[in-house]
Structure 1
Amino acid sequence: MTTTLIRPVSKAAPPITRKPANRVSRWQIYLPLGLYLLFTLVPFYWMVVFAFRPRGSNSLLPWPVTLENFEHVWTGMGFSVFFQNSLLVGVASLVSTTVIALAGGYALARYDFRGRQAFLIGMLCTQFIPGAMMLIPLFEIFRTLGLVNSLWALVIAETVFQLPLSLILISGFVKNIPIELEQAAWVDGCSRLRGFFAVVLPMLRPALVAVGSFAFIHSWNNFLFALMFVNEQDKFTLPVGLAFTIGEFSADFGALAAGGVVAAVPVVLVFAVIQRYLVQGLSAGAVKG
């Protein structure tokens, strides 16, 4: 007689049901972004329309395309000189700000000296002071130095106002570079200066691009300093030149739009070239401080 073992039948566990995640539809993303993009690009569209369409035309499209407005502002209104002045001030401000911020930011990150925190707090506090409040003191300083009506006055003013943020950015970026890399270079026989150029400086490329681009763009777009410290037309920069296209009772919209395109193209090109370095430099420099 055989006995059969009856095993209890195990019930299969019920399938785990997960609640569907709250997915965001594409419309919830693209619609706000599209509205924001439309709101941002409409002024640029009208600038391009007024710049390229013939004078007296009321067309909503720049057709037929003409370059007479650009010829008028570039040769007739002296925008070629304004462009050169803005380029000189922008490049000089970029170089001076980057070099000084590089030296100061490295010192703040690597050396521990008395008053370091107070110095950093002072640098941060200067960012709350509007530039308009410093016009009279700066004008008196430049008048004493004989720099009024000189482009170097704009370079000095721009460098001074860009240095605090640039110092903080580069200091935070240097802190993210391990000191052991420099110490290894010192062990191999490098001096501190040579180790800095061989190890630290190549890793600071994103920070230098971020600092330099901000310095250039701020000096390129600055209107207040250029208006107050320069009073001869052959030393005007582009923002001041654009202001003089608007008269007391009328405005030359074609010339104003063409000058705006001339002033905007270099900034757009700079951002298009360095935007990947800019994001990396800002994010890395903001981790430590």
Structure 2
Amino acid sequence: MTAALTEKGTLPAPVAAPPPAVRGKRRRGPDRDVPRWQIYLPLCLYLLFTLVPFYWMLLFALRPAGSNALVPWPVTGEHFHKVWNERSFGVFFQNSMTVGVSSLVMTTAVALAGGYALARFDFAVKNGFMLALLTSQFIPGALMLVPLFEIFKNLQMINSLGSVVIAETVFQLPLSIILLSGFVKNVPVSLEEQAWVDGCGRFRAFCAVVLPLLRPGLIAVGSFAFVHSWNHFLFALMFLSSQDRQTIPVGLNTLIGADSVDLGALAAGGVIAAVPVVIVFAFIQKWLTTGFSAGAVKG
């Protein structure tokens, strides 16, 4: 016999042979092979669309004044020397760095405490508080200028970098708290309970067990706070009046005259403003993606 009998004496059911592969047709489904050109062509177009403005900015910043060449040759640094020394961009850079780092520290610290409280404790107005945080994202920052100006005026904080730091922190806290709250929820409570059993208090258990696991979320929130503070224009323009207190976005605005614009100096200032942001994202892109995706799983 060509096939063995089963225990009941019947032949096993024949197994249907897979259909022959058809040349020229791809299998349908989510796991089908996609031609590489369908992936790389859109990516190249997007990369071209993104990099052309940067190249144009570098072109104006590096080529001599009055040149119309499409290649920055000979390369000159006169525009950078002009904006850094004559237009006080060294002072602007220092002020922007102070505002960015201070906003990063304050936003991360307060958001960490608020996110942990929302994730671990239940209280009467928890849902209402979360709703208030979410709805606050629909309020544009321009509507906050007048009340914040009156508050800082009464506190005698006008023309102080501290006023910009506080304004930036308040503006970024709702989203930061929501993100860190979702990230803390992904950390099992049992890890803290084991530390409590070993004799640790809540704060010590948080620092020893939970805080190391929140590193991607903290990096994501901190980088977002730094970049937003670095690029924000309205608060610095409204609260800082003297030139020695201005930040880079306000300094770039001073390069635009009523009748003419120094394109070389403006492009050089734009390069100086973009370099810290590019460096930040180049070093923390992995942590940034992990932090935002993990914090959005549970809100």
Q: TM-score of the superposition, structure 2-length normalised?
A: 0.91
1:111 aligns with 2:121: yes
The answer to whether the aligner puts 1:76 opposite 2:86 as a matched pair is yes
1:148 aligns to what SS in structure 2? Answer: coil
Greater Cα offset, 14-23 or 122-131 = 14-23
* Partner residue, 2:7: none
Alignment partner for residue 16 of structure 1, among 6, 14, 19?
19
Mapped to 1, the partners of 2:135 and 2:205 lie a distance apart of 33
Task: State the SS of the aligned residue for 1:127.
Answer: helix
Moved over 4 A (4+): 10-15
Q: Which amino acid aligns with 1:65?
A: V
Please give the root-mean-square deviation of Cα atoms over the aligned residues, in Å: 1.8
Corresponding residue of 1:43: 53
State the secondary structure of the residue aligned to 2:138: coil
TM-score, normalization by structure 1: 0.94
Q: Which moved more, 1:23-32 or 1:48-57?
A: 23-32
2: CA distance, partners of 1:143 / 1:115: 32
The answer for unaligned runs of 5 or more in structure 1 is: none
Question: Aligned partner of 2:293: which letter?
Answer: S
Quick one: structure 1 residues 239 and 18, their matched pair in 2 at CA, closer, same or farther if it must change by over 3 Å? Answer: same
Structure 2 unpaired stretches of 5+: 4-12
Q: Distance in 1 between matches of 2:219 and 2:130?
A: 22
Flag the 1:113–1:61 CA change in 2: closer, same or farther, 3 A: same
Task: Output the amino acid matched with 2:291.
Answer: G
Matches within 5 A, 1:162-181: 162-181=172-191
Which digits, 9 at most, give the CA deviation of each residue in 1:15-35, with x for residues without a partner?
533563254322222222211
What is the CA deviation profile of residues 134-183 of structure 1, one whole-angstrom value per residue up to 9, with x for unaligned ones? 11111111111111111111000000011000000111111110000000
Q: Cα offset for 1:13?
A: 5.7
Change (3 A) 1:12 1:254: closer
Structure 2 CA distance for partners of 1:284 and 1:75, relative to 1, 3 Å: same
**CA offsets, 1:212-242, max 9 Å, x none?**
0000000000001111111111111000000
Work out which of the residue numbers 235, 238, 244 in structure 2 matches 1:234: 244
Residue 123 (structure 1) aligned with residue 133 (structure 2): yes
What CA distance in whole angstroms lies between the structure 2 residues aligned with 1:271 and 1:14?
A: 53
Matched letter for residue 289 of structure 2 = V
Match of 1:57 in 2: 67
